[in-house]
Amino acid sequence: MQMSFLTFETTIWHVVKHRREAFIERGLASAINCLRFHWPEYLMEAAEVGLYLFLTCVFASLLLYPASPVRHFIGSTLELRALMGLAVGGTVVAIVMSPWGKQSGGHFNPALTLAFYRLGKMRLPDALIYVVAQFSGAIGGVCVARYLLPVGRPAIRYAITAPGVRGNAVAFISELAMSFVLMSTILVSSNRESLTHYTPYLVGLLYAIFITLEAPLSGMSMNPARSFGPALHVSYWHAIWLYFSAPTLGMLIAGEVFLRARGGVYPFCAKLHHANNKRCIFRHGSEPRPTKLCKEGSLNANHRENIFS
Task: Provide the residue-wise pLDDT of the chain in tens; the chain has 309 residues.
Answer: 445 545 655 656 555 555 565 455 555 556 677 777 888 999 999 999 999 999 999 999 888 888 888 888 887 889 999 999 999 999 999 999 999 999 999 999 999 999 999 999 999 999 999 999 999 999 999 999 988 887 767 778 888 999 999 999 999 999 999 999 999 999 999 998 888 899 999 999 999 999 999 999 999 999 999 999 999 988 999 999 999 999 999 999 999 999 999 888 889 888 998 888 888 888 877 655 544 444 444 443 334 433 333
pLDDT at residue 298, rounded to an integer? 40
Rounded Cα distance, 25 and 178, in Å? 40
Write down the pLDDT at residue 244: 97
Report the DSSP beta bridge partners of residue 293: 283
Task: Spell out a b/e string for 186-198, using b for 16 or more CB atoms within 10 Å of the CB, else e.
Answer: bbbbbbeeeebee
Instruction: Please tell me the distance from the alpha carbon of residue 224 to that of residue 136, in angstroms, as a whole number.
Output: 12
Is there a domain that residue 179 lies in?
A: yes
Let me know if residue 133 belongs to a domain: yes
CA neighbor of 210 nearest in space, from 244, 176, 241: 176
Q: What's the first-to-final CA gap in the chain, in angstroms?
A: 63
What domain range includes position 209?
41-308
Asked whether 273 and 48 are in contact (CB, 8 A), the reply is: no
Instruction: Decide if 121 is inside a domain.
Output: yes
pLDDT score for 39 = 87
Is 4 contained in some domain?
Answer: no
Question: What does the pLDDT read at residue 274?
Answer: 80
Whether 28 is covered by a domain: the verdict is no
SS (H, E, C) the chain: CHHHHHHHHHHHHHHHHHHHHHHHHHHHHHHHHHHHHHHHHHHHHHHHHHHHHHHHHHHHHHHCCCCCHHHHHHCCHHHHHHHHHHHHHHHHHHHHHCHHHHHHCCCCCHHHHHHHHHCCCCCHHHHHHHHHHHHHHHHHHHHHHHHHCCCCHHHHHHHCCCCCCCHHHHHHHHHHHHHHHHHHHHHHHHCCCCCHHHHHHHHHHHHHHHHHHHHHHHCCCCCHHHHHHHHHHHCCCCCHHHHHHHHHHHHHHHHHHHHHHCCCCCCCCCCCCCCCCCCCCCECCCCCCCCCECCCCCCCHHHHHHHHC
Facing residues of 283 across strands?
293
pLDDT reported for residue 304: 40
pLDDT at residue number 308: 37
pLDDT at res. 231: 94
Residue 216, domain member (yes or no): yes
CATH number at residue 107: 1.20.1080.10
pLDDT value, residue 158: 83
Is residue 222 a contact partner of residue 109, using CB atoms and an 8 Å limit? Answer: yes
pLDDT in the model for residue 66:
81
> Is residue 1 situated within a structural domain?
no
Q: Are 32 and 26 in contact (CB under 8 A)?
A: no
What is the reported pLDDT for 295? 43
> Is-contact 188 194, C-beta < 8 A?
no
Flag whether 274 is in a domain.
Answer: yes
Tally of domains within the chain = 1
